[in-house]
Amino acid sequence: MPTKIKLHAGLITAFLLLLSFGLSAQTTITGRVLNSVDNRPVEGATVQVRGSKIATLTASDGTFSLSTTQQKVKELVITIVGYEPLTVPVNGSSIGDVHLAITTTSLNDVVVTGYTSQRKKDITGAVTVVSVKDMKAIVSGTPEQMLQGQAAGVTIITSGAPGGPTNVFVRGVTSFGNTDPLYIVDGVPGGLHDLNSNDIESLQVLKDAGAAAIYGVRGSNGVIVITTKRGKAGKSTINYDGYYGTQRPLPGNPFHLLNSQELANALWQADITSGQVAANGYPSSQQYGNGATPVLPDYITPGGAHEGDASVNPDLYNTDYSKGNIYQITRANKQGTDWFHELFRPAPIQSHTIGLSGGSEKSTYYFSLGYFNQQGTLIETYLKRYTAKINTTFNINNHVRVGENAYVWYKNNPQISYFGENQVNYDYREQPIIPVYDIKGNFAGSNGPELGNSPNPVANQIRTKQSRGNEWQIFGNAWGEVSFLKNFVVKTSIGGTIDNNYYWNYGYHTYENAENNGSNSLSEGGGYYSNWVWTNTLSYNNNFGKHSVKALIGTEAIDVYSRSVNGFRINYFNDNPLLQTLSNGDPKGQTNGSGVGAGSLSSYFGRVDYAYNDRYLLSATLRRDGASVFGTDNTYGYFPSVSGGWVISQENFMNAVTWVNFLKLRASWGKLGSYANTPPKNQFTLYQASPGSSYYDIAGTSNSTLLGFYAQQYGSPTTGWEEDRITNIGLDAVVVNNKLDVSVEYFQKSIKGLLFQDVAGATSGAFPSSTGGSQLPTVNIGDVKNNGVDFSATYHEVVNSNFKFNVGLVLTTYKSQVVGIPGAGGYFEAGNTRIGNFVRNKVGQAIGAFYGYDVIGYFKDAADVTKSPVQQDAAPGRFKYADINKDGKIDDQDRTFFGNPNPKFTYGLNIDATYKNFDATIIFYGSYGNDVINYTRYWLDMWASFQGNKSKNLLYDSWTPSNLNPKAPILENASTFSTNTVPNSFYKESGSFFKCRSLIFGYTMPASPLKNLGIDKFRLFAQASNLFQITKYTGLDPEIGGSSAAYGIDFGQYPNNQRTYTVGVNLSF
Amino acid sequence: MKRTNLKIYIPILIASVALLYACNRSFLQKDPIGSYTPSTVATKAGVTGLLIGAYSLLDGQGGAGGSWDAAASNWVWGGVCSDDAHKGSDPGDQPDIVALMTWSESSTNSYNEAKWQTCYDGVQRSNEVLRVMRLATDIDPVDTVEFSAEARFLRGHYMFELKKIFNNIPIIDESVTYTLDNWRVENTSDAWPFIEADFQYAFANLPGTQSEVGRANKYAAEAYLAKAFMFEHKYGDALPLLNDLINNGTNAAGVKYKLVDKFNDNFNAATKNNSETVFAVQNSVNDGSTAANANAGDVLNFSYDPSAPVSCCGFYQPSFSLANAFKTDPVTGYPLPDTYNDVDLKNDQGLKSSDPFTPDNAIALDPRLDWTVGRRGIPFLDWGVNPGFVFVRNQASGGPYSPVKNAPYKSQVGILTDKSSWTAGYTALNVNLIRFADVLLWAAEAEVEVGSLDNAETYVNMVRNRAANPAGFVPGSPAHYFIKPYAAGYFTAQGQDVSRKLVRFERRLELAMEGQRFFDLVRYGTADTELAAYVSHEVGSGYTLMAGATFKKGQSEYFAIPQAEIDASTVAGKPTLTQNPGY
């Protein structure tokens, strides 16, 4: 293809310049590679001189031409994913036609693990290899969302928000703090969140100590090892991968809300039930009058006004604070505003990546540019990200190689807050009679009588339009390796991260809400985070007869430093955010601040892998970590592991069992650690000054304060290493003509000395939960136990060369139990809401268990109240709580554990098939057996909670003397212990679900007509996300994350089950 | 370098540098940048700062609690739990207050927890001054006494707060620390002697005049000591101190104690720290704290008219009974302690702002009413005439009245209020912990118990005469204000029981909505009967949220010790802290 090479030459000049090393006498070997099923050419296979790095790729007609300076080439090794590797002897300058057998097993795939790589069949630890292709069938900008259901042993709870939060639990919840696994990208600790998924070549999850102990103290939450794409020697290719789609908000009335008249009717019913009526016996309302039935007004501000009233004269209108009192005139929306679909709207999503790769025997390169833009269905949320990746390798000679991996990204990602009262919470609270805009087109809101206190969520979001947050990062490393004395390789890598962020948020002086901001304001700030990582390894590889030995020793040093700064001013003279800077704001009420952090880690590690006759495998690792976060007594920790494997299928007695192609039993034991939940200065007792917490106006000036200090934290110099002891037993099998791969493993993980913030009484002067009080240090006193089973199975069938399919099933189970918690109480609470904490993490209970009063029904009548245990505010139609301790009265002692947010199992099912040029993929995901707290019911199913909108349940199916099995308690205007003031099991619902995450149909153009255009591959596809979800949950979506100490509480969330339709292209030249 | 050498030298070089670096222990020693270690603050300047830090928790903000849940004003315990006020707002907003208001809270009530934690945080910040002071080398002995005296004064204050709310409390002096792990202290000893000792020390060692008006002086300490005696019913011990305060006391600026001419000057940020101030929480606005120092404790307690800049959040609504209490006898100008609640003062309950309403402008009223209770038809400070319904958040479940004493003037918005946070109700108004009227009325009480009824009458009349100053009436009010001091000899003629009732009633009127009433009722021992009458009256007037509420004598005088604290105090399976009776 000389013309094409010429075409590309310009693009890759920069790289070629770097490769201009001198040439010497050359040997050229040619041949053609075909597949053994139908003799079609195999394109893109790597043809490599055995024992060297000299390689090339086959062209689209299967031919190759390999030039080498080596005098004598004995053998070529031909490899390509999907085929069995083939070793071909070389006699002369051509090997002629060779045939590759299609592989149905991935056992020979080389998998990158900790600091080394291994053939999959030699692995003795628990390693899940994720199919990057299936992962990419999920449309998302964040790779960890794509991982859901794709990796046995990994539980993922995520959100529909662009760039939204994700809980990643590798083998259950192992910490009350950060549960993120360690992400190693091309050998350097980094992140997955902002990687361009098109740059990912492979992704492995290291789950047990056998696999992860080489990462020592950072391995406790599991390790995810990501390798990005590299160029291959041979021809250069250009790839384009892109899609465009539309995301559809949930249809209908997903919160089952009332319309304007219905809400007024509910008010009447509540007032009548509660006896809150005027002299004429009817309820009285500024908005709805004082009659037998409520009458919707024409205007809600001024409250209850009608057309023609003097009070609605537009001349009175004012929403400008500088011109006097606010006087808003707002027409009632008598039909009712569909706030859900005012806030959630259809939104586009698109992704484009151009990749360029290639190389020669001297060097390879991979270069990509990516653009991702997902507009959120929740207005004014989006993720825009620009990425660039450059990976290069240079073979300076046969012994010395150098290279680099560099990744740069820049993004804008405004988000709403999650897991608390947020825009979605406001969205279902805002009353339907409130329109989005008033008579003059300004925002309308709750600023009239009886309109509740929710802010207008649409206004809130639209007002963020001019605010920005941007972040960019450079991540990567430069490395060099030298092979010497035949069996040794020494490698050094210096890498790291530089991350910068900057934001400015303009806040408006709102006028339309019941509770308004006191002023407009601008907050602006930025920060940076940097680390460097220096890793050095020396490895040894040798085979003596039937013995195979691999050994590795290494050192690693990591240093982290970060700083941030912020400022805030108010009282801008106009509300044009584009004109405002901090300098223009009012210095009265200004605030500013900065923060700083630092830490370091220094480590040694070693690893030995031994195999006898490919049958008995043994591996041991040891890591010694030193961390700056611990005091001098406990600076260093040791993390060993041993693992072994027995390849039973290699035994002679298995020869007769022909249906078993491969069978391996493996076991491991070892220790991992964590220091992630330890603040960097944990060992020190520290004092601090804070304007809000310790400054004081001792001179009585009313507008200034004097410097004050307070003890910000108590130190713990003795805090040391958390040890996670993990035992793992696994079985890998390939059966039935290599068609079915099965892997099953059982693990037990017990965490000793879990790093956990100490718990003490207030008399100690410190509080674990405080914002401004003295913090307690992290100490080693929690214990958690996890066990579970990971299962995966893949069935591949090649029916004929036209039709192939794969079916994959992944199943993850875990049980996370709290074994020890500091403090004699043996518990701590989390999951705070307006009515208290829903979660108690207590010894003997599952992590995150829901705790409160157990509702056993409703009081039927006065007689029922009398004969039941004594309960505060007991009355007909209110909740009857279980008398757990049977003492005849309901009190604190009767609170109990009534729910568990942890699923019994999660599962993923992938089916993909190709028929001729067509391909199809369908991906299902489900979670079974988890409970969810539907806290939206506090707002919607209980009248007295707040004067926001309410649910259909409350108006039409709440308790009445003739409706004894209702969906909501009595509709009354009273807030009581027996209804809405304490956490109870009324809010619990099943969180099980099953959904079709993705369905893709693709069509690849036949190769021949495209050839003339220089196109190697052209595939079109159409994709649909979340076509259906089966669940009994009554809220938006039962998939609800949170902190690792409290998750599964639905405040109103950004749903992750919205349909998305996309079309896309994969193109390569 | 030859290539063969390269492949030997490079590995050796890398290996040696790597090993050297990894062995370098100092690489792992990171100083705690961005914070101060104990040695940094163990200087005179550092201890000065720690003392300010101990003062800064007086406002209840910045410690363990939130803000309104640990408010300095005690509006929840002293106000809502007494006959002063309803919770207000929507019935389900801040549900933990409903439980407190109906004396039915559980031991997990978040308000009790926040108050407990914040006060002990204050105790430990005071202790921190004492501890670090002893490590400093540049402090001379005079300063040491001054630091000690102010720190012990503050510790006394925080312990007093705990004592009056929880009664059975652990005594935490400076020997108790997290570091020594000796903080699990029993709550079985009476804390009064400890509190008295702190105030005694402060009284003996503090100067009369301080460089800054917000500091405690010797008279503030003396007043607190007297207050402790009053709570202990040691009237004989209290009286000499109270007499000394009345005769010789000065505020921290050295100004002799005197009632200010206008009653409302005590509740106006522009006239704070006046001759009536004995000890107050200093609040400040626009000071770079994002309103954290701006009386955050009372931020919810404003009217709810969204067109007015202060529009949050409709809590702490004065009760029907409280408004009624300000009726006066149209002939004598005296209060009506026996009959005030027979008929409710005319109000707009059940009426919308658009419905016609005129207040009863004929009935005789104590002028302090309209500085205490916001009601329809009366000017609300300088915000204009109170429009009634739209000024309260949820009239059906909160009643018709709004709080006034903590509200800012319209003319002060942005100057003595802070606009940098989520709502406009952040003010520079101080919280009066003790004001001179308080001292006079204690003196009157003590005189009734141990001394002369004439003296008691004199003190009460000082307070009434000030209230009767027409210059201090609500400007532009259409109400008929009619208040007279008691005629000379009236107390003696009526006898001790009536005098006692009149003194207590005067205290109720003068200090209404200042977070004192509940503690006074408990101190008098009449909480059960008075609050039972109150509940039945309020429910009868339409405040159904209190239906069924019962003050349980022997239990409800003190609040539940937070369960989390009891649990945390457990040693070998047995809690160190004992729950209060009845919880």
Closest C-alpha among A879, A848, A1056, A859 to residue A968 = A879
**Contact criterion met (CB < 8 Å) for A708 and B55:** yes
A103 band by pLDDT with thresholds 50, 70 and 90? low
Taking the C-alpha atoms of residue A836 and residue B389, their distance in angstroms, rounded to an integer, is 31
Overall average pLDDT of the B355-359 stretch: 93
pLDDT tens profile A13-25? 433 333 333 344 5
Query: What pLDDT does residue A915 have?
Result: 93
Taking the C-alpha atoms of residue A503 and residue A1061, their distance in angstroms, rounded to an integer, is 32
Sign of CA dihedral A760, A765, A771, A776: negative
Taking the C-alpha atoms of residue B448 and residue A351, their distance in angstroms, rounded to an integer, is 85
Q: What is the DSSP string of B21-80?
A: HHH-GGGG----TTSB-HHHH-SHHHHHHHHHHHHHGGGS-SSSS-SGGG-TT-IIIIII
Q: Which segments of B256-403 does DSSP mark as H helices, in order?
A: 320-325, 369-372, 395-398
Query: What pLDDT does residue A19 have?
Result: 38
**Contact criterion met (CB < 8 Å) for A763 and B418:** no
Taking the C-alpha atoms of residue A241 and residue A237, their distance in angstroms, rounded to an integer, is 13
Q: Which of A429, A493, A697, A775 to mutate to test the interface with B (most CBs of B within 10 A)?
A: A697
DSSP category for residue B539: H
DSSP category for residue A176: S
Residue B577, pLDDT above cutoff 80: yes
Overall average pLDDT of the A151-176 stretch: 87
A1038 band by pLDDT with thresholds 50, 70 and 90? very high
Query: What pLDDT does residue A778 have?
Result: 87
Taking the C-alpha atoms of residue B418 and residue B29, their distance in angstroms, rounded to an integer, is 43
pLDDT tens profile A133-149? 888 888 888 898 899 88
**Contact criterion met (CB < 8 Å) for B421 and A700:** no
Which residues does chain B have within 8 Å of residue A598's beta carbon, measured at their own beta carbons? 30, 33
Which residues does chain A have within 8 Å of residue B568's beta carbon, measured at their own beta carbons? 759-761, 823-825
Overall average pLDDT of the A611-620 stretch: 92
Q: Which of B18, B62, B564 sits opposite A692 (nearest CB)?
A: B62
Chain B residue nearest residue A873, CA to CA? B548
Overall average pLDDT of the A951-980 stretch: 94
Q: Does B18 reach chain A within 8 Å, measured CB to CB?
A: yes
Structure tokens at B491: 């107390």
Taking the C-alpha atoms of residue A1041 and residue A165, their distance in angstroms, rounded to an integer, is 8
Residue A1069, pLDDT above cutoff 60: yes
Chain A residue nearest residue B415, CA to CA? A703
Per the model's pLDDT, the better-predicted residue between A1037 and B304 turns out to be A1037
Structure tokens at A868: 């039941």
Q: Which of A284, A397, A773 sits opposite B63 (nearest CB)?
A: A773
Helix (H, G, I), strand (E, B) or coil at A306: coil
**Contact criterion met (CB < 8 Å) for A892 and B106:** yes
Closest C-alpha among A503, A678, A692 to residue A582 = A503
User: HEC profile for A605-664?
Assistant: EEEEEEEECCCEEEEEEEEEEEECCCCHHHCEEEEEEEEEEEEHHHCHHHCCCCCEEEEE
Q: Does B515 reach chain A within 8 Å, measured CB to CB?
A: no
**Contact criterion met (CB < 8 Å) for B570 and A823:** yes
Closest C-alpha among A1029, A1032, A1052, A1030 to residue A1040 = A1052
pLDDT tens profile A164-217? 888 898 888 877 778 889 999 999 999 999 999 999 999 999 988 888 888 888
Q: Is the peptide bond before A302 cis (omega within 30 degrees of 0)?
A: yes
**Of chain B residues 468-497, which have a CB less than 8 A from chain A?**
none
Q: Does B232 reach chain A within 8 Å, measured CB to CB?
A: no
Whose structure tokens read 């019935």?
B91
Overall average pLDDT of the B305-331 stretch: 88
**Contact criterion met (CB < 8 Å) for A705 and B568:** no
**Contact criterion met (CB < 8 Å) for A538 and B15:** yes
From A986's Cα to the closest Cα of chain B, the distance in A is 16
From B19's Cα to the closest Cα of chain A, the distance in A is 7
A751 band by pLDDT with thresholds 50, 70 and 90? confident
Per the model's pLDDT, the better-predicted residue between A97 and B329 turns out to be B329
**Contact criterion met (CB < 8 Å) for A449 and B390:** yes
Chain A residue nearest residue B26, CA to CA? A628
Query: What pLDDT does residue A193 have?
Result: 92
Q: Does B333 reach chain A within 8 Å, measured CB to CB?
A: no
Taking the C-alpha atoms of residue B307 and residue A324, their distance in angstroms, rounded to an integer, is 10
Closest C-alpha among A83, A15, A96, A6 to residue A44 = A83
Contacts of A529 (CB under 8 A, 6+ apart): A497, A498, A499, A560, A561, A562
Residue B55, pLDDT above cutoff 90: yes
Overall average pLDDT of the A857-875 stretch: 94
Taking the C-alpha atoms of residue A882 and residue A756, their distance in angstroms, rounded to an integer, is 33
Residue A383, pLDDT above cutoff 70: yes
**Of chain B residues 241-300, which have a CB less than 8 A from chain A?**
269, 272-273, 282-293
From A223's Cα to the closest Cα of chain B, the distance in A is 23
**Of chain B residues 517-556, which have a CB less than 8 A from chain A?**
542, 544-545, 548
The CA-based angle B485-B490-B492, given to 5 degrees, is 135
The ipTM is 0.94
Query: What pLDDT does residue A15 have?
Result: 39
Structure tokens at A1023: 């994709």
Q: What is the DSSP string of B90-141?
A: -TTSSHHHHHHHTT---TT-HHHHHHHHHHHHHHHHHHHHHHHHTT-SS--H
**Contact criterion met (CB < 8 Å) for A711 and B542:** no
What is the phi/psi pair of residue A731, to 5°?
-135, 125
**Contact criterion met (CB < 8 Å) for B285 and A702:** yes
- Sheet containing strand A850-852, strands side by side: A827-833, A836-842, A850-852, A896-899
Whose structure tokens read 């107050």?
B280
Contacts of A806 (CB under 8 A, 6+ apart): A794, A795, A796, A797, A910, A911, A912, A913
Overall average pLDDT of the A492-500 stretch: 95
Residue A6, pLDDT above cutoff 70: no
**Contact criterion met (CB < 8 Å) for B285 and A703:** yes
Cβ count within 10 A of residue B8: 12
Residues making up chain B, counted from first to last: 583
Chain A residue nearest residue B61, CA to CA? A693
DSSP category for residue B263: G
Query: What pLDDT does residue A4 have?
Result: 42
Instruction: Count CB pairs under 8 A between chains A and B.
Output: 438
Helix (H, G, I), strand (E, B) or coil at A240: strand
Which residues does chain A have within 8 Å of residue B571's beta carbon, measured at their own beta carbons? 824
Whose structure tokens read 């105090």?
B569
pLDDT tens profile A986-1011? 999 999 999 999 999 999 988 777 77
Q: Does B573 reach chain A within 8 Å, measured CB to CB?
A: yes
Which residues does chain B have within 8 Å of residue A709's beta carbon, measured at their own beta carbons? 36, 41, 46, 49-50, 52-53
Of the listed ranges A64-73, B113-122, B535-544, the one predicted with least confidence: A64-73
Residue A7, pLDDT above cutoff 50: no
**Contact criterion met (CB < 8 Å) for A773 and B64:** yes
Q: Which of B11, B55, B290 sits opposite A490 (nearest CB)?
A: B11
A10 band by pLDDT with thresholds 50, 70 and 90? very low
Query: What pLDDT does residue A13 have?
Result: 40
**Secondary structure percentages of chain B, helix, strand, coil, to 5:** 45, 5, 45
Query: What pLDDT does residue A24 have?
Result: 45
User: HEC profile for A83-136?
Assistant: ECCEEEECCCCEEEEEEECECCCCCCCEEECCCCEEEHHHCCCCEEEECHHHHC
Query: What pLDDT does residue B14 have?
Result: 67
Per the model's pLDDT, the better-predicted residue between A655 and B517 turns out to be B517
Per the model's pLDDT, the better-predicted residue between A729 and A797 turns out to be A729
For chain A, what percent of residues have pLDDT higher than 90?
56
B227 band by pLDDT with thresholds 50, 70 and 90? very high
Q: Does B311 reach chain A within 8 Å, measured CB to CB?
A: yes
The CA-based angle B535-B537-B541, given to 5 degrees, is 115
Query: What pLDDT does residue B20 have?
Result: 61
Overall average pLDDT of the A374-399 stretch: 94
DSSP category for residue B582: T
Taking the C-alpha atoms of residue A554 and residue A225, their distance in angstroms, rounded to an integer, is 18
B5 band by pLDDT with thresholds 50, 70 and 90? low
Chain A residue nearest residue B292, CA to CA? A692
**Contact criterion met (CB < 8 Å) for B397 and A278:** no
Overall average pLDDT of the A347-363 stretch: 92
**Contact criterion met (CB < 8 Å) for A760 and B95:** no
Taking the C-alpha atoms of residue B76 and residue B270, their distance in angstroms, rounded to an integer, is 26
**Contact criterion met (CB < 8 Å) for A699 and B213:** yes
pLDDT tens profile A234-253? 778 899 999 999 999 999 99
Whose structure tokens read 């349940």?
A953
Find which of A675-684, A826-835, B188-197 is predicted with most confidence, using mean pLDDT. B188-197
Residue A703, pLDDT above cutoff 50: yes
**Contact (Cβ atoms closer than 8 angstroms) between residue B320 and residue B537:** yes
Taking the C-alpha atoms of residue B489 and residue A247, their distance in angstroms, rounded to an integer, is 85
Residue A771, pLDDT above cutoff 70: no
Overall average pLDDT of the A911-938 stretch: 94
Please name the helix (run of DSSP H) or strand (run of DSSP E) that holds residue B235, with its range, or none: helix B235-248
Averaged pLDDT score across all residues of chain B:
92
Q: Where are the beta strands (DSSP E) in B410-541?
A: 417-418, 426-427, 431-435, 480-481
Q: Which of A689, A702, A945 sits opposite B428 (nearest CB)?
A: A702
**Contact criterion met (CB < 8 Å) for A534 and B30:** no
Q: Does B565 reach chain A within 8 Å, measured CB to CB?
A: yes
Taking the C-alpha atoms of residue A27 and residue A654, their distance in angstroms, rounded to an integer, is 45
Closest C-alpha among A61, A56, A1, A74 to residue A35 = A61
Which residues does chain B have within 8 Å of residue A484's beta carbon, measured at their own beta carbons? 7-8, 11
Of the listed ranges A91-95, A578-582, A990-994, B297-301, the one predicted with least confidence: A91-95
pLDDT tens profile B423-432? 888 999 999 9
Find which of A280-289, A748-757, B56-65 is predicted with most confidence, using mean pLDDT. A280-289
